[in-house]
Structure 1
Amino acid sequence: MRTVMHCTAGSASAQRRALANAANLLADETLDLEALAVVFNGDGVHAARADAPVADEVRGLLARGPEEDAAPDAPLIEVCACSNSLASRGVDPDELVHDVRVVSSGMGELSRRQADGYGYIRVP
């Protein structure tokens, strides 16, 4: 199973809830989750900033992926930020948490993921 979560929330409390939902999904042992992508666009891109109030939660989510995890069946975890949203909000991609991937557009990334069989969840 592959899931893409979509967050446009600008408030830290809503972003924190979105990231907690992602963590809860990863912790659900009844699922055979092979990949999880979290796509931030709109005001949600501020969550991906290295100085964001939720930056530690973003780092923690990324650290649960197979590169950091000894478990061979750990799901691929990606956090993506929309380049259009970054540009319109004056956020330089160099300001993002390490390993956050900048995508051409949030809507395009969501469309690609769904075409590739990812289930879509809007959070929070």
Structure 2
Amino acid sequence: MPLNVIVQIKDEDKVMQGLRSVINLYNDLKDAVIEVVFHQSAIKALLKDSNFREIIEDLMSKGIIIVGCENSIKAQKIKEDSLISGIRIVTSGVGEIVRKQSEGWIYLVV
């Protein structure tokens, strides 16, 4: 049975570190279901003009679920159409994490 892992990335200055951890996780556990939740200041990494766009699109092409927090999008005054295509939006990033944990997902903070 594959592992289910939910990863939190919340700090804009730690996005690259977080993405490296996700890549390492994927490379080690290819059959794991991985969801990465971006919220707080890290939500900016999901913008189409972000320096992280290519990496994020590559992760999505591998089946990794990329999620953006609607509350953070609103707080940062970001328009949803300026986000990378394929991003899943949830009302609350922390709510998504709590729901997944209640379902038995492994929680990783990077």
Measure how far apart 1:58 and its partner are.
0.6
The residue aligned with 2:101 is 114
SS at match of 2:50: coil
8 Å CA contact 1:2, 1:33 repeated in 2: no
8 Å CA contact 2:26, 2:32 repeated in 1: no
The residue aligned with 1:57 is 55
The residue aligned with 2:6 is 4
The residue aligned with 1:38 is 36
Normalised by the length of structure 1, the TM-score is: 0.83
Measure how far apart 1:34 and its partner are.
3.2
Normalised by the length of structure 2, the TM-score is: 0.93
8 Å CA contact 2:68, 2:87 repeated in 1: yes
8 Å CA contact 2:35, 2:65 repeated in 1: yes
Return the match for 2:46 from 28, 31, 48.
48
- Amino-acid identity (%): 27
Larger radius of gyration: 1
The residue aligned with 1:74 is none
5+ residue gaps, structure 1, are 66-76
State the Cα RMSD in Å: 1.1
In the alignment, structure 1 residue 23 sits paired with structure 2 residue 23: yes
In the alignment, structure 1 residue 80 sits paired with structure 2 residue 82: no
Q: Which has the higher helix share?
A: 2
Letter in 1 for 2:54: D
5+ residue gaps, structure 2, are none
Measure how far apart 1:57 and its partner are.
0.8
Aligned residues: 108
Measure how far apart 1:32 and its partner are.
6.5
